[in-house]
Structure 1
Amino acid sequence: MTLTSLPRTLTLCALALSPLSTAAQAQVSNPVLSAEILPGWTTERGTRMAALHLVLAPGWHTYWRNPGEAGIAPRFDWGASQNVASVRAIWPRPQIFDQNGYRSYGYENELLLPIEVTPQDGAHPMALLGALAIGVCAETCVPADVSVQGVLRGSGEHDRRITAALDNRAEPGAQGGLTSATCQLHPGDRDAELTLRTSVPSIGRTEAVIVEVPGYRVTDTQTRREGADLVTQARLRAPRRGEPMIFDRASIVFTVLSEEQMLVSQGCTGG
């Protein structure tokens, strides 16, 4: 698969919808993908558990919140929404793609992304308007601008599709048996090598550890199992050449991913 972005943008135009119309959702489509808002239900906290539903053409895929080394990071802007205080995406477990020596994480053919929407005033409907910039890939990768909108009114009703996606979200590491994480940093001229050792029982086939360090680009990630431990080596690169490597162990976030389960944890100790 060629992982170069074409110099054009695939634009999806939303169907016209007044923010307070009687329609529950609007759907947009083209030959590559369709997008819609699933209205979902009102939670006990007074928030709305809805979902963004993307259906891609056969053989196409899009990316997780962290796309890996070869993907295109998704960007969501819900700022034009009305009576909406916040929108929180709850990412389900992605697939692992190995492409031309690079590893990425995403969803093939379909993504159902639960979103928890908090109203400004729970007594009134919410008009949810999203401007989404995502990558969609088959033989080539194309940046896609997607506009989608829907009205969330009343109490709604439970949707088994959203519930299934929520069941595939990341679990806390301790819940999956993760007992400790140690890390070492070896600075170089332009970057640094990070070694992360996590004590966690096997969670399935094709285990991978995805490392995120605020302010740094993480590349060349390799994970191997040594008995009860997963050992991950990765390279950290600062945004600008010559910047000092200042590493806060408490800020590191790592996700242990397999085809069956996903665990997330934050922080590591020196080791």
Structure 2
Amino acid sequence: MPIMLRTVPAAIFLILAVFPAFAQPPASSSWVQGLHSRARLISGETEGGRHLAGIEIALDSGYKTYWRTPGDSGLPPRFDWAGSENVADVEIRWPAPSRHEDPGGVSYVYEDSVVLPVLVTPKEAGKPVTLALSADYGICKDICIPAHAEMKATLSGKGPHQADIAKALAEVPRPQALGAKSEIAVESIERVAQDQPTFRVTVRAPAGTKPALFPEAPENWYLSASEPDDANRVTVTVEDRPKEASGPVPVRLTLVAGGKAIETQVSLDAGQQPR
């Protein structure tokens, strides 16, 4: 009996040392394989009391996934954090997308792979955060296919993917006022005709670059944007809107050019006149 009393603690110590995953979930989730894609949660450091994490989606060659606003077609991603522990708030930051045009229309996409930075505020500072994510997203080559993944990771502020998350954060459009004197800017917006819900947006971009404008309005509104003309003017059209809609209606214009991205907030008044 004395021998057993001496060896049991040693056995427990050996089990915990060899299988630390029993103590807590890993700092990053394993890849979840889906059709032509895979996804995982990654973790970084702690900044300003918030944990940095990321949703990483890798795609098979030739496939795309969609930005928060998919464009003419596609599925906007949906993220459910209901199973998380010690989480007060989750904020997703969106790196700038690319404009993709095919016979189905214009879509706003990420190609090859993307990391969506996630800023997590804990309920109790100093304690580990368990981040649980149920993710639904679309992937596309010729047609759009829904994908689903369930992921879980523990955030302690010492995650191994800080560099990847920081790189993605650097690609998030920065807020900028209308008409800002900057190398890349939304210079002005004006109504094309009083009887048409169409606007002309003039943008500034570095010489030799081709700007892309991504307009967004509230849920159930749909805005389309043309490619810029030779004077860097983009035509934005209100294709659909709720019948009961009235102003002012917030509109976010994301501009991407030359590897840089900004976003400018404007609004439409009761007569759909831009302000």
After superposition, the C-alpha distances for 1:153-181 in whole angstroms (9 at most, x for unaligned) are: 24445622112111111022345553643
Q: Is 1:181 paired with 2:188?
A: yes
Identity within the alignment, %: 27
- Give the one of 33, 37, 41 matched to 2:37: 33
Aligned length: 245
**CA 224–49 in structure 1, closer or farther in 2 if over 3 Å, else same:** same
After superposition, the C-alpha distances for 1:4-36 in whole angstroms (9 at most, x for unaligned) are: xxxxxxxxxxxxxx9971422222224522211
Q: Separation in 2 of the partners of 1:245 and 1:187?
A: 18
Q: Separation in 2 of the partners of 1:162 and 1:267?
A: 29
- Give the one of 194, 197, 200 matched to 1:193: 197
Q: Tell me the residue number matched to 1:163.
A: 166
**Do 2:42 and 2:56's aligned partners in 1 also have CA atoms closer than 8 Å?**
yes
CA drift of 1:205 comes to 3.3
- Give the one of 202, 206, 221 matched to 1:217: 221
**CA 137–220 in structure 1, closer or farther in 2 if over 3 Å, else same:** same
RMSD: 2.8
Q: Considering only CA atoms, is the larger Rg found in Structure 1 or Structure 2?
A: 2
Structure-2-length-normalised TM-score = 0.78
Where do 5+ consecutive residues of structure 1 fail to align?
1-17
**Do 2:49 and 2:125's aligned partners in 1 also have CA atoms closer than 8 Å?**
yes
Q: Tell me the residue number matched to 2:80.
A: 77
Structure-1-length-normalised TM-score = 0.79
Q: Separation in 2 of the partners of 1:202 and 1:71?
A: 30
| Matched residue SS, 1:162 | helix
After superposition, the C-alpha distances for 1:87-141 in whole angstroms (9 at most, x for unaligned) are: 1111112222111151111111211111111111112111101111110112321
Q: Separation in 2 of the partners of 1:244 and 1:226?
A: 37
**Do 2:184 and 2:204's aligned partners in 1 also have CA atoms closer than 8 Å?**
yes
Higher helix share: 2
**Do 2:64 and 2:139's aligned partners in 1 also have CA atoms closer than 8 Å?**
yes
**CA 117–193 in structure 1, closer or farther in 2 if over 3 Å, else same:** same
**Do 2:70 and 2:107's aligned partners in 1 also have CA atoms closer than 8 Å?**
yes
What letter matches 2:148 in structure 1?
A: D
**Do 1:19 and 1:150's aligned partners in 2 also have CA atoms closer than 8 Å?**
no
Q: Tell me the residue number matched to 1:266.
A: 265
| Matched residue SS, 2:127 | coil
**CA 109–182 in structure 1, closer or farther in 2 if over 3 Å, else same:** closer
Where do 5+ consecutive residues of structure 2 fail to align?
1-20, 268-272
Q: Is 1:253 paired with 2:256?
A: no
Q: Tell me the residue number matched to 1:55.
A: 58
**CA 156–234 in structure 1, closer or farther in 2 if over 3 Å, else same:** same
